[in-house]
Amino acid sequence: MSKRMKQMGILSALLTFVCLALLISVGYTDRPNVSATVYVNAKNAGLSEKVASNTKILQKILDSNTTGTTHIIIPKGTYYFDSGVIKMHSNLTLSFEKGAIFKSRNNATVFFAYPSSKKGYDGGTSNILWKNATLVGSDENGQGSFTQSMNHAQDVKFQNCTFYDAENPNGHIFDLDGSHNISISNCSFYGFNANVANDYKEAIQIDYSNPGAMSYQLDGDKYDDLPSFNIYVSNNQFLPINSHNRIKYYAPNPIGQHATYDNGKSGIIHNIYFTNNKVVDSKPRKTDTTGTINFNAVSNLYIENNQFSNILTTGVSNYIRIYNPLATYHMKNIWINNNRFTNVNPTNQYILIRSTMPENPIKDIYISNNIVTTHLTHTIFINSLNNNVTQKNNKFVK
CATH architecture of 38-397: 3 Solenoid (2.160)
Phi-psi sector, 343: left (phi>0), alpha (psi -120 to 50), beta: left
Instruction: State the chain's mean pLDDT as an integer.
Output: 91
Distance CA 72, CA 93 (A): 6
pLDDT at residue number 14: 47
pLDDT at residue number 140: 87
pTM for the full model?
Answer: 0.90
Sign of the dihedral defined by the CA atoms of residues 113, 116, 119, 121, in that order:
negative
* pLDDT confidence bin for 139, thresholds 50/70/90: very high
Q: Is the pLDDT of residue 8 over 50?
A: no
pLDDT at residue number 3: 47
pLDDT in tens, 98-114: 999 999 999 999 999 99
pLDDT at residue number 35: 62
User: Alpha helices, DSSP H only, in the chain?
Assistant: 2-26, 55-63
Q: Is the pLDDT of residue 21 over 80?
A: no
Least confident range from 23-27, 109-113, 190-194, 373-377: namely: 23-27
pLDDT at residue number 22: 38
Q: How many CB atoms neighbour CB 183 within 10 A?
A: 16
CB 151 within 8 A of CB 180: no
* pLDDT confidence bin for 321, thresholds 50/70/90: very high
Per-residue pLDDT, averaged over 168-186, amounts to: 97
Per-residue pLDDT, averaged over 364-380, amounts to: 93
Share of the chain above pLDDT 70, in %: 91
CB 124 within 8 A of CB 116: yes
CB 108 within 8 A of CB 140: no
CB 333 within 8 A of CB 269: no
Least confident range from 49-53, 197-201, 205-209: namely: 197-201
- Closest residue by Cα to residue 279 from 359, 204, 384: 204
Distance CA 337, CA 195 (A): 33
Per-residue pLDDT, averaged over 305-331, amounts to: 95
Indicate the domain borders of the chain. Answer: 38-397
Tell me the DSSP string of 27-50: --TTS--PPPEEEEETTTTT--SS
Q: Is the pLDDT of residue 376 over 90?
A: no
